[in-house]
Amino acid sequence: MSRVARLADPLHTLANRLRRAPAVHSGLLLVSAGGLGDTVLFAHVVDRFAALAEPDESVTVLLRADGAATAFCLPPEIEILTVDFGRLGSDLVYRLSTFRRLAARGFRRVVSTDHRRHPYLDEALMLAAHAPETWAMEARPWPKHGAALAANGRRLTRVEPAGPLHMDKLLRWAAFADRLSGGHRLPPTARFPAERLPPAEALAGPTVLVQPFSAVVAKQLAVERWRTVIEAVPPKYAVVMTGGPRDLDRQPAFRSLVDGTRVRFESRRFAEVVPLLRAVALVISADTALMHLAAAVGTPTLGLASAAYVGEIVPYAPEVAPPNLAVMHVPVDCAGCLGDCRKPLVDGMFDCVALLNTAAIVGEIRHRLGP
Banded model confidence at residue 338, pLDDT cuts 50, 70, 90: confident
Determine what percent of the chain falls in helix, strand and coil, rounding each to the nearest 5: 40, 15, 45
With a cut of 90, say whether residue 171 has pLDDT above it.
yes
Q: Which of 51, 55, 59, 93 is nearest to 76 (CA)?
A: 59
Output the pLDDT for position 142.
95
Taking CA atoms, 127 is separated from 112, 120, 156, in Å, by: 10, 10, 8
In the chain, pLDDT over 90 holds for what percent of residues?
A: 87
Per-residue model confidence (pLDDT) at position 45: 98
Mean pLDDT of the chain: 95
State mean pLDDT over 154-167. Answer: 96
Report the pLDDT value the prediction gives residue 22, as an integer from 0 to 100. 75
pLDDT tens, 205-258?
999 999 999 989 999 999 999 999 999 999 999 999 999 889 999 999 999 999
Percent of all residues in the chain with a pLDDT value above 70, rounded to a whole number: 100
* All residues at 6 or more sequence positions from 133 whose CB lies less than 8 Å from its CB, including other chains: 108, 109, 110, 157, 158
Domains and CATH numbers, the chain: 5-181 (3.40.50.2000), 205-369 (3.40.50.2000)
**18 has pLDDT over 80:** no
pLDDT score of 23:
72
pLDDT band at 130 (very low <50, low <70, confident <90, very high): very high
pLDDT of 2 strictly over 90: no
Task: Look at the alpha carbons of 361, 240, 320, 370 in this order and tell me if their dihedral is positive or negative.
Answer: negative
Q: Give the pLDDT mean for 32-38.
A: 96
pLDDT of residue 371: 79
- In this prediction, residue 221 carries a pLDDT of 96
Q: How confident is the model at residue 3 (pLDDT cuts 50, 70, 90)?
A: confident
* H or E element that contains 158: strand 158-160
Residue 20: pLDDT above 80?
A: no
Distance CA 214, CA 242 (A): 11
Burial of residue 173 (CB within 10 Å: 0-12, 13-18, 19+) is: buried
pLDDT of residue 114: 97
pLDDT in tens, 172-192: 999 999 999 999 999 999 999
Predicted local confidence at residue 51, as pLDDT:
97
Residue 24 has pLDDT above 90, yes or no: no
17 — pLDDT class (breaks 50, 70, 90):
confident
Least confident of 96-105, 142-151, 282-291, 329-338: 329-338
The separation between CA 258 and the C-alpha centre of its own chain, rounded to angstroms, equals 28
CA nearest 51: which of 176, 160, 158, 196? 176
47 pLDDT exceeds 80?
yes
Residue 93, by phi and psi: left (phi above 0), alpha (psi -120 to 50) or beta?
alpha
What is residue 340's predicted lDDT score, i.e. its pLDDT?
A: 87
Rounded distance between C-alpha atoms, residue 21 and residue 102, angstroms: 13
Q: Is the pLDDT of residue 21 over 90?
A: no
